[in-house]
A and B are shown apart, each in its own frame.
Chain A
């Protein structure tokens, strides 16, 4: 009987430990969100609209917000077509040698240190151009966006039941038409999810921008071949400043970035069972 008791005792300890660990695991997220709101909201409230539109010396992060959206748009423009084609290839030729390589490479790229992408793009774009630029940043972000969209595209298409594929072929259509006009539209929801997740990722990336965009916070960007700013990069710079005013600014910017992230993430998550980041 006492043996049973120790077994039961162990079980209780196990259950309690598990509950505590699980709780500890999700605690940081809540603390982070609460802190970002309590620290960031007063800053934004105090400066009001200026915070969202003004330049840095006016106490605003307008150029950084503009920069982030420009970078998101440009990187999608560069990355999406490539990603779609790569995803389609990985779906259509999964067992060929290059198909297998591609799938492995995509997985590796998902996990790859993003700072390495930044330095690489600096080397092949920023140095030859002789300047930091929005284009260089967008290119680096496109390299990061690409595997997300490609993997989601491939996965979404792979989940189409075989019978629809058979039905399309049964209509006497060419492979290219079947893929582009039937199977891709059929999986558009999954593909769109990948696009949004990739964009959420891209909006928050800092490391790839360190040596590519240069930063521009005193005026709005005018050209993609000139330096540009971004919210995460601005936060990174502000944190490292010794001034408290800059730190307040950083919290405010963090709140804006968090809201952008949530704005993309929540609808995606709501319409979907599981997301892989």
Chain B
């Protein structure tokens, strides 16, 4: 019997699986042969993507070193030697706005989950789930236009102005909300956008709490508040994963954010100051980056950072979620 060449080994059926006789290569798993090109394509695509970002960012690392991530200068110049690009401001903006988003999304999605699972009658429950699904799927540009034309003016007039007027001695309220386009607006809009994703994860987890625990908490004579607190404690890891994954979504969101953040290189703790995020920087600057000699690699370096943040956040979030789900199943 001819031995398998090494590169065909993979397609060999495992012992105890079904066979189809295929000329002289016996026992080949046809299904694997047919599906594998797609798998290879997808896996390669991912690796290829990482390579493209790394390769194109390389000149920036060579020229500026890792400082490209830590310096807050963005200096485009016709004379190549005067160019300098540091991504500190957009990185800060990305993290800052995403944290605001999570601070908004978390309480809402927890309340929503408790309400939907514990209190809502079946019809209302379905209604809420449909709304949540719809919010998750709504085109982001629609959030963007609403954010730019409705949310920002509203926030500027009724939230930022009063806070600035009365509480500007607190550092985070200290920047004047001149246009309203700011970290704050972006954070709020992102919060609205990622709430349904956090909700879906937390709701599912809350639903998975075994019924006996519910019974047990109530049989102890606890009030509903106390019972809910205990049950939420039980799903704490899932809430954490929900927050991480929602953070990942917020980090990657592009067009809606770029319409409300003000697109200014700024590194400020002031909530009402305009800023940048990595994705809105790419959206805004990529088109004209070709004019300059060194800008493009810096943008790719930003993309690489986004890539890696996205990868880590998602892998960690998914891993924790899976681990928790496994624990519950037992």
Contact = CB atoms under 8 A, between A and B. Distances in A.
> A and B touching (C-beta < 8 Å)?
yes
16 contacts: A7-B223, A7-B225, A11-B225, A81-B38, A104-B315, A108-B310, A175-B29, A201-B137, A203-B139, A206-B254, A210-B283, A235-B141, A265-B134, A276-B200, A277-B133, A277-B136
A176 interface: yes
Contacts of A85: 34-35, 37-39
A166 interface: no
Interface string A240-277: 10000001001100100110010001000100001111
Interface stretch (B41-49, B68-76, B158-166, B264-272): B41-49
A203 B252 CA distance: 18
A88 B307 CA distance: 27
A145 to B, nearest CB: 12
Interface SS, A side = helix
Interface string A191-235: 000000100110111110011000000000000000000001001
A277 B52 CA distance: 28
A108 B111 contact: no
Q: Determine the interface band of chain B, counting residues with CB < 8 A from chain A.
A: 35 or more
A85 B30 CA distance: 13
A123 interface: yes
Interface stretch (A29-37, A52-60, A155-163): A29-37
Interface residues of A, number: 84
A21 B141 contact: no
Interface of A: 7-8, 10-11, 13-15, 17-19, 21-22, 24-26, 28-29, 31-32, 35-36, 39, 81-82, 85-86, 88-89, 92-93, 98, 101-102, 104-105, 107-109, 111-117, 119-120, 123-124, 143, 146, 169, 174-176, 179, 197, 200-201, 203-207, 210-211, 232, 235-236, 239-240, 247, 250-251, 254, 257-258, 261, 265, 269, 274-277
A132 to B, nearest CB: 11
Contacts of B310: 108, 111-113, 116
B23 to A, nearest CB: 16
